[in-house]
């Protein structure tokens, strides 16, 4: 039985107060660095207007990459808000230290409805502390807006405070999920006072959702093409690691056969070659086949999967060989346990290993999984216990994520009830 004290080491008690000044001073310093290094810009008039709002506010920010925590925090320094953070981050020492320093961070169970988190938000607003929410609930994989749950409008109406939106084009392309580092281009953080308290009262939840969607909908690749912003790195060529998300060849349909070669993505099955241009555009070489852009290629894969899953229904499954690690509550880190196979069907995830067989619920709110594209990891939860699966293929986490999404689109509700409970 896990001791309560151990749990509290991971999830510290939440303080319903503004974050300490020194933490936001540090974030401000990081912001200065980002301005110099990554070309970060702000619309300062709106930042000044937000500063003048008396009382707590709800801040809704897009979540294209880890970078936006800094860009967003710098836009609302005056509020020193409480930030919603994935419970997953609490399990890693470095993130846990940052969360503990802020003292008022609210943990959120990703991909599941979390009533406890909602209660914390309400208590924070009642204590006159602003709250920063990332409505998408996960980082983008393809540089596109990931959507949010319809419950957001109801939550905003319940809280009855002004709403500010923040959106940072360029954030995703500075630090895309498939790269282990940064590229230099430009980031334009746009702050907007979206709703005043009266509008929150008079508009319906659906109208509020529409306003929010219109304010924070984004596509970094569209923005890049429109503004002709190039993202450069001495270390990473344009197609570096792209095979981690673009796993399907549009010429022969083969999967897991693409490799990166400088600015080119090449299929080792049929030899199809595609070159990535300075503004994200993709062009086929030697009469080959390509999609016009990285995000459109990713979408093509999603569409193909959706079609396949609709066609096969209960017969669809995807498997990968994995190494399973469990969270050790004494050492407070992941510890390797065994090898096995992880399978996903409409019913849910199942791991069959050398010693154990474990079933996991398929996340559905939003439909996505914890994944690390660079270290090829998928993380699934049994209550508070995370299990970390290191895949054998570079592309598996991205494909599993797309499968979860496609399953949810193909069969939105009826199959959820049949999913296994955590065992
Ligand atoms: Zn091919």
* SS3 track for 369-395: CEEECCCCEEEEEECCEEEEEEECCCC
Domain residue ranges of the chain, discontinuous segments joined by +: 4-227, 242-292, 316-418
Q: Which residues of the chain have pLDDT under 50?
A: 417, 420-423
Q: In 3D, which of 373, 369, 364 has the Cα closest to residue 346? A: 364
CA of 14 to the centre of ligand 1 (A): 52
Which pLDDT tens digit goes with each residue over 256-304? 999 999 999 999 999 999 999 999 999 999 999 999 999 999 999 999 9
Q: Which CATH number fits domain 316-418: 2.40.110.10, 2.30.29.30, 3.40.50.720, 3.20.20.70?
A: 2.30.29.30
pLDDT of residue 5: 62
CA of 291 to the centre of ligand 1 (A): 13
pLDDT of residue 413: 65
CA of 248 to the centre of ligand 1 (A): 8
CA of 253 to the centre of ligand 1 (A): 6
CA of 371 to the centre of ligand 1 (A): 26
Report whether the peptide linkage leading into residue 33 is cis, meaning its omega lies within 30 degrees of zero: no
pLDDT of residue 422: 43
CA of 254 to the centre of ligand 1 (A): 5
**Using CA of residue 144, residue 26, residue 37, residue 236, what is the dihedral sign?**
negative
CA of 389 to the centre of ligand 1 (A): 28
pLDDT of residue 8: 74
- CA 158 from chain center: how many Å? 26
Rounded to the nearest 10 degrees, what angle do helices 294-312 and 220-227 cross at? 150
For the beta sheet containing 348-353, the strands, ordered from the edge strand earlier in sequence to the opposite edge, are 357-360, 348-353, 333-345, 317-328, 385-391, 377-382, 370-372
Helix ranges restricted to H, 143-289:
151-159, 171-174, 197-202, 205-216, 220-227
Q: Which residues contact 35 (CB under 8 A, 6 or more apart)?
A: 41
Angle among Cα 248, 218, 302 to the nearest 5 degrees reads 20
CA of 280 to the centre of ligand 1 (A): 21
CA of 272 to the centre of ligand 1 (A): 5
Which pLDDT tens digit goes with each residue over 322-348? 999 999 988 889 999 999 999 999 999
pLDDT of residue 9: 77
CA of 271 to the centre of ligand 1 (A): 6
CA of 302 to the centre of ligand 1 (A): 17
CA of 249 to the centre of ligand 1 (A): 5
CA of 179 to the centre of ligand 1 (A): 23
Q: Are 256 and 267 in contact (CB under 8 A)?
A: no
CA of 117 to the centre of ligand 1 (A): 46
Q: What does pTM read for this prediction?
A: 0.90
CA of 273 to the centre of ligand 1 (A): 9
What are the strands, taking DSSP E only, across 8-109? 40-42, 58-61, 82-86, 106-108
Domain 4-227, CATH class in plain words:
alpha beta
Q: Is 100 helix (H, G, I), strand (E, B) or coil?
A: helix
CA of 232 to the centre of ligand 1 (A): 28
């Amino acid at each position: 039985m896990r001791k309560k004290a151990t749990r509290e080491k991971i999830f510290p008690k939440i303080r319903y107060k503004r974050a300490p000044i020194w933490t936001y001073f540090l974030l401000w310093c990081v912001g200065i660095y980002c301005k110099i290094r990554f070309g970060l810009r702000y619309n300062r008039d709106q930042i000044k207007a937000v500063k003048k709002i008396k009382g707590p506010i709800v801040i809704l920010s897009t979540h294209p990459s880890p970078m936006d925590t800094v860009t967003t925090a710098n836009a609302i320094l005056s509020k020193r808000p409480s930030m919603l953070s994935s419970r997953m981050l609490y399990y890693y020492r470095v993130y846990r230290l940052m969360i503990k320093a802020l003292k008022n961070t609210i943990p959120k169970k990703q991909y599941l409805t979390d009533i406890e988190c909602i209660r914390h938000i309400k208590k924070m607003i009642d204590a006159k502390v602003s709250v920063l929410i990332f409505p998408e609930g996960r980082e983008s994989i393809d540089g596109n807006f990931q959507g949010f749950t319809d419950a957001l409008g109801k939550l905003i109406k319940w809280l009855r405070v002004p709403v500010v939106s923040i959106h940072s084009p360029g954030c995703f392309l500075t630090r895309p999920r498939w790269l282990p580092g940064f590229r230099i281009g430009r980031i334009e953080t746009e702050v907007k006072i979206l709703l005043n308290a009266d509008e929150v009262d008079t508009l319906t939840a659906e109208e509020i959702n529409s306003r929010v969607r219109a304010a924070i909908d984004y596509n970094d690749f569209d923005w890049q093409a429109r503004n002709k912003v190039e993202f450069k790195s001495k270390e990473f060529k344009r197609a570096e690691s792209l095979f981690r998300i673009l796993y399907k060849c549009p010429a022969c349909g083969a999967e897991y056969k693409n490799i990166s070669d400088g600015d080119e993505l090449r299929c080792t099955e049929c030899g199809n070659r595609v070159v990535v241009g300075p503004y994200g555009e993709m062009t086929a070489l030697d009469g080959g086949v390509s999609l016009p852009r990285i995000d459109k290629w990713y979408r093509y894969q999603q569409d193909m999967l959706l079609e396949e899953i609709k066609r096969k229904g209960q017969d669809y499954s995807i498997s990968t060989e994995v190494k399973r690690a469990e969270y050790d509550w004494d050492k407070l880190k992941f510890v390797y346990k065994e090898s096995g196979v992880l399978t996903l069907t409409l019913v849910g995830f199942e791991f069959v290993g050398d010693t154990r067989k474990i079933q996991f619920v398929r996340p559905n709110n939003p439909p996505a999984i914890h994944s690390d594209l660079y270290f090829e990891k998928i993380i699934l939860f049994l209550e508070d216990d995370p299990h970390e699966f290191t895949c054998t293929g570079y592309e598996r986490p991205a494909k599993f994520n797309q499968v979860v999404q496609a399953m949810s689109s193909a069969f939105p509700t009826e199959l959820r009830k049949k999913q296994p409970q955590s065992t």
